[in-house]
Structure 1
């Protein structure tokens, strides 16, 4: 253990040394060879992240004001600013990416930084029992790039039936055939073996690639899944069902966030695009008699500012912050606004619905292999130099937090068509033990007891292992978000009510059983794969491995993957549960849209980052068609 900690400290010192040397070197340095090398590996873009944000001018008018720089916000701001006659203000509450954001293996650490809003749920009775105070950690990005800058970079668009369902429910224009072109427009695919696929594009701004670093554990999982009857699939192609190595939003082994893909390449080329960081929007300015949005109020360096919008205000602040800003602006449920004494402008069910994908952090499987698990202490100085200076995309540092493969299953209890998966198995070549409790454990709010009893022994022994996270795609449990008071700097109150519907637990239980069947396959036996039998604290009273044990474990090791949706639900005005129409305009309001994953009406068969890019691309076309 001591040698492992010394190794980690040594690597940290080396990384700091490299950053200090590189960041301290002027980009005008006459050493052109070094600059050429840095350009080749992308380090100039990583280090030159000053952004040179504009200084806000109180009362300044823009054609469009985009609030929030996540996947949808960056996409819509970049597309609208393609018109040189339009001025666009992109406002972000957080700061700027750095080399840590761009290094995929560090994903677990980012949730403990200022790049995460740090939201937690209210204490849950039926889930998150392994978290401090039963509060589920709910990470959301607070940085240029939004959650795309702190997530695990999994690129999964969803199932065609998701989008056809949106259209059938009244959201005209959102069927699969109508949204697929926007997924393609955003994508720059580098997927070996899929070069001729009509489901992928190779000319968009967002890089999508297979993770080049790959362990024997991942190979064994994919092989065993095939032996268990799952086909190899492109889950962003014709059919989702099956197993695949993960497709990631990385470029040459580095995170490719919304900011890196859409804004950074054009920021210095478009004088009509103004970027504002550390600017906290507090409300939308609305002319109450006409219900017209005409600007925003925000705080910058603790001083209040106002921007005016000639054409539209576009909220892209995410599933928590967009509804918060709407309610602070008088747009939301009458009872909540009355309770916090915000004058009512438009009575809408903002925040009344909240869906999320909850998963079970496990099972954990130990193996007879050596040196395969992603322990951060195993990263060598040679790998660091190879990754940082030589641009090698196949080192352990390009592993997206250990995620290596995905499997999509339709379960026997399912009432859905066979080509519509119920659960996803996320194969991770590690666990909470991988960073010795210094990263993911803290970011996910796991109790010390959980780490100490289940994962610490793995870290101490450096025992090879992997984890299968089991995630349910179509939960029935519905949560809610509301405001405690009218203070714009206080968090919204978030109650996801995970597992309120007991059938959600049963789907995860079936998913666990399916994962255990994969463990019985020959490919798994060849690496000595076997279930870690350390009982989860609080579940010792149940026989290990019994259904009741797993039900207890599901409610204890509950874990969310940043997929909150529906707080500003899309649909026709005739649907009383909706907030925006199919053009993403807020019902009853003028010149105000919501463009982010909060508009997604039902939990999709997807990781929502890909859908957010699509929403931003589609929204840009709808906005342009109205104003040209």
Structure 2
């Protein structure tokens, strides 16, 4: 990990405790600094033994080849391999999790490691003005577990109207009543007060729990939200509207990724029919152009090309950027783009023609009169590490999911949607860019130095308590696009989210900022001295601070993504000219080829997308089993 400002005691403790984690099954992808530390204490050989990957055999044949080991891919591979007569290959371009992935408070640092593909958008004209070269950072997981291994672990399924809308748009089987059983199948909930809720299950692979570490600041925020008129709610239950402490994909205070939940518990028991290949980047699908049937994949492992063949299906679970990229590299996509880069057209489809994302405004930030509540990672002590790692204490600072403590779901006055369908989410975060002294969030989001220097550096130096309310719009009108710049399978696709192209999106977020400020003025937050951080956003100084125009400028400057890209392989009936896959997730016009990940989601959901990815994997497994039984 790069430039982590840990105390010497913290670094030493992590190094000394690594062998305990290796012996308990936690593995690492070989980050260089960590290897250097392990070399000093003589643990490199043990580390290599624990992480030795499967070596592929060229021309091997499998029943199913799953490309990408994110939430959907891990779920699908685990479910399909339950049948011992089916041989399943799971290919992942990245490595495996290490101690940093499992420690929730370190989420912000993971975007600077090899576990992140490191994508940036093309320069934005109307957003991301506070980013270097006006490029939005677009993190995606490159590790067993995918983005579930580097995200902020928020578990949020969405609104029943999202899924009913999918079904009514020509996707039978995807209504709320039909997908809820798959959410429940995946979940093992440990949520206080919801033990008897019909909206939660307690026996699935994926742990969902309350974050046990809670500060005075979050209690004040939740109370203030209620004072402002929001009900307390289970946002994964009957109604989303209201405020709630966050529900997290953690287990006993550790990250519980797709790999940890679905693959790690079974991999040693299914060695004969579940083969997992790390550092194996798929470069092309093998397709019979005459029959339009997928029959295998080409991939690179250790700088050498390999081929795997599929008896039944090739399944893309590579995510909202890599699944469309692989389709297009294989001749499936927009004819104009493929012709321009010299890829022979196999089948014309609108791959990547639509891209939706939830743009989030990084703020407003509020300072308080409290002390010792905001977590500054450079002040984490060895005693706290020992309590968390050795004593198993799930209520230390290290179990905080990147500082996220609560969520509030709101309606705005301008909304034309039904009353029970939220427009805005407020994400209460314990801190800001100051929390890590500019060593993680700023770099991961590609913020300019002046944003940190002029707005947050003084907060970090003073260790002043503060919190931020991130404002996210659920139903953006702005539509982006993804396409290929060339035929190089190891290069990046071009990604243009086109945030804030629709003026209406800015106004919704402005409404959310105003609501955040209104909540801050309620008695519970006033009792701890909550007040706006009055440091103007660079580039917005000429506008009256906290005026509507000031906030509009801030929205376009402090633009932020939360990994929620969807619709690049959009699901819809064959009659839908924007659809790439059918309701059964088969690629239109192709045989033996499916896409199973969040790229199939047709419109932005009222949710973070990680929970939906697990649901999609579970549902796809049932559809595939039904087809091949």
User: If the TM-score is normalised by the length of the shorter chain, which range does it land in?
Assistant: over 0.9
> The residue matched to 1:437 in structure 2 has which SS?
coil
User: 8 Å contact 1:47–1:98 — kept in the other structure?
Assistant: no
1:125 is matched with 125
Shift of 1:13: 2.9
Q: Equivalent residues in 2 for 1:357-368 (5 A)?
A: 357-368=358-369
Deviation readout 1:334-374 (Å, 9 max, x if unpaired): 00010011111110000000000001000000000000001
Gaps of 5+ in 1: 28-45
Q: Does 1:65 align with 2:65?
A: yes
> The residue matched to 2:287 in structure 1 has which SS?
strand
1:111 is matched with 111
2:14 is matched with 15
1:385 is matched with 386
Shift of 1:294: 0.2
Cα distance in 2, alignment partners of residues 497 and 594 from structure 1? 24
Q: Equivalent residues in 2 for 1:336-415 (5 A)?
A: 336-415=337-416
Cα distance in 2, alignment partners of residues 571 and 22 from structure 1? 45
Deviation readout 1:164-192 (Å, 9 max, x if unpaired): 00000001100000000000000000001
User: 8 Å contact 1:127–1:499 — kept in the other structure?
Assistant: yes
Gaps of 5+ in 2: 27-45
Q: Equivalent residues in 2 for 1:214-225 (5 A)?
A: 214-225=214-225
2:426 is matched with 425
Cα distance in 2, alignment partners of residues 220 and 526 from structure 1? 8
Shift of 1:555: 0.3
1:252 is matched with 252
> The residue matched to 1:356 in structure 2 has which SS?
coil
Deviation readout 1:544-593 (Å, 9 max, x if unpaired): 00000000000000000000000000000100000000000000000000
Cα distance in 2, alignment partners of residues 20 and 625 from structure 1? 44
Cα distance in 1, alignment partners of residues 65 and 261 from structure 2? 20
Shift of 1:107: 0.1
Cα distance in 1, alignment partners of residues 189 and 234 from structure 2? 13
Shift of 1:51: 5.5
CA spacing shift, 1:528–1:590, aligned 2, 3 Å: same
Shift of 1:52: 4.6
Aligned-CA RMSD value: 1.6
User: 8 Å contact 2:91–2:277 — kept in the other structure?
Assistant: yes
User: 8 Å contact 2:5–2:436 — kept in the other structure?
Assistant: no
Cα distance in 1, alignment partners of residues 145 and 258 from structure 2? 5
Count of residues paired in the alignment: 606
Q: Equivalent residues in 2 for 1:87-486 (5 A)?
A: 87-270=87-270, 271-486=272-487
CA spacing shift, 1:587–1:250, aligned 2, 3 Å: same
User: 8 Å contact 1:49–1:97 — kept in the other structure?
Assistant: no
> The residue matched to 1:293 in structure 2 has which SS?
strand
> The residue matched to 1:111 in structure 2 has which SS?
helix
TM-score (norm 1): 0.95
CA spacing shift, 1:335–1:6, aligned 2, 3 Å: closer
Shift of 1:532: 0.3
Over 6 Å off, 4+ runs: 24-27, 46-49
Shift of 1:22: 6.1
TM-score (norm 2): 0.95
Q: Does 1:525 align with 2:516?
A: no
Shift of 1:15: 2.1
Cα distance in 2, alignment partners of residues 13 and 227 from structure 1? 45
1:605 is matched with 606
> The residue matched to 2:482 in structure 1 has which SS?
strand
Cα distance in 1, alignment partners of residues 403 and 11 from structure 2? 19
User: 8 Å contact 1:161–1:420 — kept in the other structure?
Assistant: yes
Cα distance in 1, alignment partners of residues 22 and 248 from structure 2? 27
User: 8 Å contact 2:352–2:569 — kept in the other structure?
Assistant: yes
Cα distance in 2, alignment partners of residues 574 and 26 from structure 1? 48
Cα distance in 1, alignment partners of residues 12 and 449 from structure 2? 27
> The residue matched to 2:456 in structure 1 has which SS?
helix
Shift of 1:318: 0.1
Deviation readout 1:499-539 (Å, 9 max, x if unpaired): 00010000000000000000110001111000000000000
